[in-house]
């Protein structure tokens, strides 16, 4: 007996059993129907593996017949259950059964890692039924439209753009330009989805998830709230500090995707700033009172206008940095970083990270990114102090941010 074949059959059974276990649990909790469970799904996956095995051993037609037969059995089972219950029950379990068959086929053909990943994804989707339905009910018309726009720019427009530089000094690359639009929009979009998924369960959670969308938006929102709810100023400060901490983490994520070598340069200076923010946040958390209602008025982070605005900013900064690098050396890069940090830290981060793959040296890019981040921190400190309650909320944030900026400048030259 071929042990590899036996191993494939056993893995197929195990993957089918995982899906079947979830379906059995759903039926027990009265969230599913009697189509299949802990016994049927492993047999379906085994049937898929056996069909693939016999398709190679005897004839490919056996696999084709197996697919047709499996589809027919699932259709018959669906109408049988629907006729018995006389209500529409959906076809989730039936589709999962058909997928389980192909998981068995994948396992036999040696695509075990892919089969395992797909099995986990299928099981999570099946288990998250109530969460997904609740999430869908909360989606607004504008958010659905923004989701479709994001899909268009990421999976329709991007593949059609030429990956080639144009103009003097090769300043403009349409593909890279649009890729960064998709990348940054995607980060904000994921953060917004997380907020919609979990709900606004307090200021702390809003600060963390809001930092993925826009730490400046969090600061502005909490500054406005601090004028009306002065007694909870420590919790509001905590939300702002956490949002800024997420901004530092977001910078590291952006850099890691584009240039891992630059990431190693930035881990220590930004890591120190993150650690200081975490320690200060813990101190605030211990002294703040637990409250409810961290509601923020954050709009959906993706619309075509802001995405194009970021694209223009990114292209302009990338061009300025290239020109500054040629005519002003590193000092020009630092000037552009400072100016960019006044408005947006993502564009300069992505621009410098991209340039390190061609002409810009890692040390200059590191200093430029940290400088832009510290400039952005200073802007948010000003927003908190001048637009929020000054005595407590604004004073604490501005004082902490000034100390953070001094420490950050020190790390630039020491580390």
CA distance readout (Å), 151 to 155, 221, 237, 269: 6, 29, 36, 35
Question: What pLDDT is attached to residue 165?
Answer: 78
Question: What pLDDT is attached to residue 374?
Answer: 94
Question: What pLDDT is attached to residue 55?
Answer: 92
Model-level pTM greater than 0.85? no
> Rounded distance, CA 377 to CA 116, Å?
43
Could you give the 3-state DSSP secondary structure of residue 172?
A: strand
Q: Which residues pair with 166 in a beta bridge?
A: 172
Question: What pLDDT is attached to residue 200?
Answer: 46
Q: Name which of 22, 15, 189, 144 is nearest 93 in CA terms.
A: 22
Could you give the 3-state DSSP secondary structure of residue 153?
A: helix
Question: What pLDDT is attached to residue 227?
Answer: 86
Q: What is the mean pLDDT of each run of 10 residues along the chain (415 residues)?
A: 83 91 77 69 92 91 91 82 61 84 93 91 82 68 77 85 79 77 66 58 70 77 80 85 92 90 92 94 77 51 61 68 61 77 78 84 89 91 90 93 93 78
Burial code of 235-246, b = ≥16 C-beta within 10 A, e = fewer?
A: bbbbbbbbbbbb
Joined together, the tokens standing for residue 83 give: 């006729």
Question: What pLDDT is attached to residue 401?
Answer: 95
> Rounded distance, CA 250 to CA 291, Å?
27
Q: Name which of 347, 277, 272 is nearest 307 in CA terms.
A: 347
CA trace torsion 104, 106, 107, 110 (10° rounding):
160
Question: What pLDDT is attached to residue 245?
Answer: 93
Report the residue count for the chain: 415
Question: What pLDDT is attached to residue 107?
Answer: 93
């Amino acid at each position: 007996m071929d042990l590899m074949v036996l191993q494939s059959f056993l893995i197929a059974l195990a993957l089918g059993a995982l899906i079947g276990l979830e379906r059995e649990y759903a039926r027990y909790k009265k969230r599913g129907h009697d189509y299949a469970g802990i016994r049927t799904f492993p047999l379906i996956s085994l049937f898929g593996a056996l069909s693939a095995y016999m398709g190679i051993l005897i004839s490919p037609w056996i696999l084709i017949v197996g697919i047709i037969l499996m589809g027919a059995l699932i259709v018959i089972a669906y109408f049988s259950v629907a006729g018995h219950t006389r209500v529409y029950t959906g076809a989730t379990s039936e589709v999962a059964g058909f997928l389980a068959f192909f998981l068995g086929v994948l396992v036999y053909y040696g695509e075990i890692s892919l089969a395992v990943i797909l099995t986990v994804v299928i099981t999570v989707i099946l288990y998250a039924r109530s969460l997904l339905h609740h999430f869908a009910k909360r989606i607004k018309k504008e958010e659905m439209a923004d989701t479709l726009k994001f899909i268009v720019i990421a999976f329709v427009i991007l593949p059609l753009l030429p990956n080639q530089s144009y103009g003097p000094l090769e300043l403009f690359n349409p593909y890279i330009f649009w890729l960064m639009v998709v990348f940054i929009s995607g980060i904000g979009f994921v953060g917004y989805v997380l907020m919609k998924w979990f709900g606004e369960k307090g200021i702390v959670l809003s600060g963390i998830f809001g930092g993925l969308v826009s730490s400046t938006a969090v600061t502005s929102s909490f500054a406005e709230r601090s004028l009306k709810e002065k007694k909870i100023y420590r919790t509001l400060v905590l939300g702002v500090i956490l949002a800024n901490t997420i901004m530092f983490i977001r910078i590291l994520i952006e850099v890691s995707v584009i240039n891992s070598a630059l990431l190693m340069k930035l881990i220590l200076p930004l890591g120190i700033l993150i650690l200081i923010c975490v320690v200060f946040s813990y101190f605030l958390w211990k002294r703040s009172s637990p409250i409810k209602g961290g509601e923020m008025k954050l709009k959906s982070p993706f619309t075509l206008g802001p995405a194009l605005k970021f694209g223009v900013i990114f292209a302009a900064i990338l061009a300025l940095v290239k020109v500054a690098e040629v005519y002003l050396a590193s000092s020009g890069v630092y000037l552009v970083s400072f100016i960019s940090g006044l408005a947006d830290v993502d564009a300069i981060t992505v621009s410098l990270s991209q340039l390190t793959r061609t002409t810009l040296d890692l040390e200059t890019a590191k200093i430029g990114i940290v400088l832009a981040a510290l400039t952005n921190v200073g802007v948010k400190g000003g927003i908190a102090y001048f637009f929020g309650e000054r005595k407590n909320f604004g004073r604490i944030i501005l004082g902490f941010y000034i100390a953070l900026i001094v420490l950050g400048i020190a790390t630039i030259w020491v580390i």
